Chain A
Amino acid sequence: MTVQTQSLLFSFAAILVLAVVFLRVRLQRGDGEDYGPVQGRAYRIRAVFFWVLILVGLPISLWLLRAMPYASAAAGAQVVNATGAQWYWDLDREEVEAGKPVTFNVASTDVNHGFGVYDANGQLVAQVQAMPGYINRLTHTFDAPGTYRVLCPNIAGWRITT
Chain B
Amino acid sequence: MAEALAQGRPDAAAADRATPWVVIYLVTTGVVLLLMMLLGLLMRLVQSGWLALDHPALFYQIMTVHGTGMVGIAALGGVAVMWHFLASYVTLHRAALGINFVLFLIGVVAILWADFISGFGGAWTFLYPLPALSGGAWESGSAALHLWGLLAVGVGVLVICLEVGRAIIVGYGGLGRGLGWHVLFAGSTQNVPPPTVVASTMVVIVTTPALIAGAASLVMSPVNLYFPDVAINPLMIKNLIYFFGHTIINATIYMAVVVVYELLPRITGRPWKTTKVFLAAWTLSTTMVLVIYPHHLMMDFAMPTWALVIGQVFSYMNAFPVLVVTGLGALAILNRSGVRWDLLVTLLLISMFGWMAGVIPAVVDATIAVNSVMHNTMWVPGHFHFYLLLGLLPMIFAFMIYLARGEDVAPRGGDMAAVLYLIFGLTFTGMFLLGGWASVPRRWAVHLSEWMVYDRIATIAAAGVIVLTTIFIAMFLARIPRILRGA
Q: Interface of A with B (CB < 8 Å)?
A: 2-5, 7-8, 10-11, 14-15, 18-19, 21-22, 25-26, 28, 30-33, 35, 38-39, 41-42, 45-46, 49-50, 53, 57-58, 61-62, 64-65, 67-70, 86-87, 110-112, 114, 116, 118, 122-129, 131-134, 136-138, 151-155
Contact = CB atoms under 8 A, between A and B. Distances in A.
A26 B367 contact: no
A2 B375 CA distance: 15
B441 A131 contact: no
Interface of A is mostly: mixed
Interface in B281-327: 297, 299-302, 305, 308-309, 312-313, 316-317, 320, 324-325
A153 B372 contact: no
Which of B331, B376, B441, B450 gathers the greatest number of chain A CB atoms within 10 Å?
B441
A155 B60 contact: yes
A11 B60 CA distance: 30
B337 interface: yes
B336 A86 contact: no
Contacts of A8: 433-434, 437
B221 to A, nearest CB: 12
B166 interface: no
B349 to A, nearest CB: 6
A14 B337 CA distance: 26
Greatest chain B CB density within 10 A among A31, A57, A65 is at A65
A49 to B, nearest CB: 6
Interface residues of B, number: 74
Nearest to B340: A30
A128 B133 contact: no
A65 B437 contact: no
Contacts of A138: 301
B372 A61 contact: no
A36 B354 CA distance: 27
Contact of A122 (B130, B302, B338, B439): B439
Contact of A7 (B297, B316, B339, B370): B370
Contact of A18 (B308, B338, B353, B379): B353
A138 B373 CA distance: 13
Interface string B266-292: 000011000001000000000000000
29 contacts: A4-B436, A7-B361, A7-B437, A10-B364, A11-B364, A21-B331, A25-B331, A25-B349, A35-B271, A41-B332, A42-B328, A42-B335, A46-B277, A65-B309, A68-B368, A86-B133, A86-B135, A111-B130, A111-B133, A112-B234, A114-B376, A127-B299, A128-B299, A128-B301, A129-B299, A129-B301, A153-B441, A155-B123, A155-B443
Best-buried of B302, B309, B334, B365 by chain A (most CB within 10 Å) = B302
A70 B369 CA distance: 11
A4 B338 contact: no
B146 to A, nearest CB: 16
Nearest to A108: B234
B389 to A, nearest CB: 14
Given A11-B360, A21-B331, A32-B338, 9 more contacts: A3-B373, A4-B436, A14-B357, A58-B317, A67-B368, A127-B372, A129-B299, A154-B441, A154-B442
A85 to B, nearest CB: 9
Contacts of B376: 114, 116, 127, 153-154
A42 B332 contact: yes
A27 B338 CA distance: 11
Contact of B135 (A28, A70, A87): A87
A3 B372 contact: yes
B97 interface: no
B316 A57 contact: yes
A33 B450 CA distance: 53
Interface string B373-404: 11111010000000000000000000000000
B339 A30 contact: yes
Given A3-B370, A19-B357, A49-B324, A114 B336 contact: no
A148 B375 CA distance: 18
B460 interface: no
A4 B374 contact: yes
Contact of B328 (A45, A61, A65, A122): A45
Nearest to A124: B439
Interface in B113-140: 123, 127, 129-130, 133, 135
B226 interface: no
Contacts of A125: 373
